[in-house]
Structure 1
Amino acid sequence: MPAHAAPPLSSRLSGLLFFPVTAFDADGAFDPSGYRAHLEARIDDGAGAVFAACGTGEFPALAPAEYERCVGLAVEAVAGRVPVLAGTGYGTTLAVEYARAAERAGADGLLVLPPYNAESGQDGLLRHYTLLAQATELDLVLYQRDHLAFTPATVAELAAVPNIVGFKDGRGDLDLMLRIVSAVRTAGREDFLFFNGMPTAEMTQQAYRAIGVPLYSSAIFCFAPDLARAFHQALEKGDSATLATITDVFLRPYVELRRLRPGYAVSLVKAATRAAGHPVGSVRAPLTEPEPEHLRTLLELLDRVRGALA
């Protein structure tokens, strides 16, 4: 469905934002049946939106044809129940090609990962994102992470582009993020969306919500939807006791575990998703599988927090 035929994303994005892992078979090829099963299970678990072929979904590891098929399967599985956003990235030319593939596949919007050369300065970023927005009818959510940092003035200027509808932060600089929120608000874009995109965003969401960032990614939802729901419900209700239990018993030790190896923000999530009964396969190079003892530790943490919540 073309983006202009549906209500704006600003009115449709809420709840638990699901970032599915991409399923591969034993030979490392894209596995549509495993991917569909993973999607349908989590949609039934209450996903508020699906972000297909994004960071957790190993976007950089997907060939263009796989990417379009992956997004198309997400659209089919969702069947209009919640919005589907697809990842895009690299330089402007490639980002436009992926955006057009996402359009053909029926996506509602795009999560725009950092461009290949983010050292081009703020003028270069303005040009990159403006050209991408002009090349597609889809709504865009910009993603600040890794080596890419926006200035508040740049985000406020980009927020004036009609189909740039949101900004996601994966750097964790709350001072910068508050200044960005303030700059966009001062510029009069009241419907602009702000997201916490930190790995294991639940760990920082209470702080992000306090500065005007209500939405967050939930990689935990891939492998422990019950825990992700319990956290989200406690956050909505202001249940500080439950939030403290989940933070102390699970989130803090899980984040420390995740930091033991590069790439665990994806590979540990995928291994835990397999352990939860979804045949999604291994990660693709250059990511590597987690150490078996680290996965065991994660599963023990899940048992512990479920016991504490019970």
Structure 2
Amino acid sequence: MAEISAEAGQVVQRLRDGMAGGVLSFPLTSFRDDGRLDLDAYRAYLAGRLATAPGAVFPACGTGEFFSLDEDEYRAVVETTVEVAAGRLPVVAGTGYGWAQALRFARIAEEAGADALLVLPHYLVGAPQDGLVAQLRRIAVGTRLPLIAYQRGQVAFGADALRRIAQIPGVIGLKDGHSDLDRLQRLTLAAPEGFLFFNGAATAEIQARAYATVGVPAYSSAVHAFAPEIANAFFTALQSGDDASMTRLLREFYVPLVELRDRVPGYAVSLVKAAARLRGLPVGPVRAPLTDPGADDLADLEKVLDHGLRLVDAVRRSA
């Protein structure tokens, strides 16, 4: 990994410690029924998430509907997250689109007090490996914040590109959303010592055991956004090697949730938000182009969620 500043080094260490001790939290962004940002609701919702000891918090990313926020809203969300986190855990804000727009968000995140940035895939077009490297380099030279690259969709790094981005000052890690374990193993072997990796697959718990076998045990948890009890029960089982508990949670909660998620495009976010509303959390609706689930899917979601919450108690008793 390229030489980094002392400040960035502290961020890396805090992230490493957090990733070993808890799931990575990707909070939802609260909107009113008319679509306006609801900061008071977000503040209350976020405080509840952070009270459950995640390893780090990633505001205004995919689950937080980064793609639907304007710059003023983005600033408010990141500032509020920094305020609520109060230095207790790292705050990694999302940024993305082309490098020029990504830098606009990066500078806002700097001013708002974020510790690092998650660089979401660029917009619309595919790109060669040289272009993916150049995109990160252009962002890195324009911000003092450390960067974590996010590969999914049209972004997929090869081993040579991974070596090159790891040498860009300020690039500290990779979030993987492709779940190609052959490729991921090659990337972890190509990376320099100290480079961070974490599992960013949709409903990452489904593949958490497989990721751990290639040296990537840390993961983001969308379930933490609405049911930290379930997310933390799975994390504890993974950390302790309790395969029986993991298998039961997967079979009886996570797989049914994923099957429901796969019914409609965009449910990876809108179903999570609907589950939070079912629990009385003040998150509001999703913004277009996402759509909220219909009555039948909501009814099925409620059954899956209720069973998952009961399952946590059963798993704890059997552990």
TM category, shorter = over 0.9
Mapped to 2, the partners of 1:94 and 1:7 lie a distance apart of: 26
Report if aligned partners of 1:91, 1:117 keep a CA contact under 8 Å in 2.
no
Count of residues in correspondence between the two structures: 304
Report if aligned partners of 2:172, 2:195 keep a CA contact under 8 Å in 1.
yes
- 1:78 and 2:81 equivalent? no
Superposition TM-score, scaled by structure 1 size: 0.95
- Pick one of 32, 35, 39 that aligns with 2:39: 32
- Pick one of 81, 84, 109 that aligns with 1:102: 109
Residue 218 of structure 1 corresponds to 221
Query: 2:127 aligns to what SS in structure 1?
Result: helix
Q: Where do 1:87-166 residues align within 5 Å? A: 87-116=94-123, 118-166=125-173
What letter corresponds to residue 254 of structure 2 in structure 1? Answer: L
Cα deviations across residues 192-235 of structure 1 (Å, max 9, x unaligned)? 11011111000111000110112111010011110001000000
Residue 69 of structure 2 corresponds to 62
Q: Which runs of 5+ in 2 are unaligned?
A: 315-319
- 1:42 and 2:74 equivalent? no
What letter corresponds to residue 262 of structure 1 in structure 2? Answer: P
Change (3 A) 1:120 1:146: closer
Report if aligned partners of 1:9, 1:165 keep a CA contact under 8 Å in 2.
no
Deviating more after overlay: 147-156 vs 224-233: 147-156
Residue 233 of structure 1 corresponds to 236
Mapped to 1, the partners of 2:9 and 2:43 lie a distance apart of: 25
- Pick one of 20, 23, 29 that aligns with 1:16: 23
What's the CA shift for 1:245? Answer: 0.6
What letter corresponds to residue 233 of structure 2 in structure 1? Answer: A
Mapped to 2, the partners of 1:33 and 1:4 lie a distance apart of: 35
Report if aligned partners of 2:147, 2:173 keep a CA contact under 8 Å in 1.
yes
Mapped to 1, the partners of 2:304 and 2:127 lie a distance apart of: 42
Residue 303 of structure 1 corresponds to 306
Q: Which runs of 5+ in 1 are unaligned?
A: none
Cα deviations across residues 60-87 of structure 1 (Å, max 9, x unaligned)? 1000110011100000010000000100
Deviating more after overlay: 145-154 vs 264-273: 145-154
Mapped to 2, the partners of 1:41 and 1:51 lie a distance apart of: 15
Mapped to 2, the partners of 1:180 and 1:145 lie a distance apart of: 14
Query: 2:36 aligns to what SS in structure 1?
Result: coil
Change (3 A) 1:227 1:285: same
Mapped to 2, the partners of 1:81 and 1:38 lie a distance apart of: 17
Mapped to 1, the partners of 2:178 and 2:10 lie a distance apart of: 27
- 1:259 and 2:267 equivalent? no
Report if aligned partners of 1:4, 1:137 keep a CA contact under 8 Å in 2.
no
Query: 2:126 aligns to what SS in structure 1?
Result: helix
- Pick one of 284, 287, 292 that aligns with 2:287: 284
Report if aligned partners of 2:127, 2:154 keep a CA contact under 8 Å in 1.
no
- Pick one of 253, 259, 264 that aligns with 1:250: 253
What letter corresponds to residue 224 of structure 1 in structure 2? Answer: A
- Pick one of 163, 167, 177 that aligns with 2:174: 167
Superposition TM-score, scaled by structure 2 size: 0.92
Aligned residues: CA RMSD: 1.3
Change (3 A) 1:77 1:293: same
Cα deviations across residues 231-272 of structure 1 (Å, max 9, x unaligned)? 000000000110011011011111111000000000000111
Report if aligned partners of 2:132, 2:155 keep a CA contact under 8 Å in 1.
no
What's the CA shift for 1:303? Answer: 2.2
Report if aligned partners of 2:8, 2:145 keep a CA contact under 8 Å in 1.
no
What's the CA shift for 1:298? Answer: 2.0
Deviating more after overlay: 52-61 vs 116-125: 116-125
Residue 317 of structure 2 corresponds to none
Query: 1:138 aligns to what SS in structure 2?
Result: coil
Mapped to 2, the partners of 1:48 and 1:32 lie a distance apart of: 23
Mapped to 2, the partners of 1:106 and 1:165 lie a distance apart of: 18
What's the CA shift for 1:46? Answer: 1.3
Residue 183 of structure 1 corresponds to 190
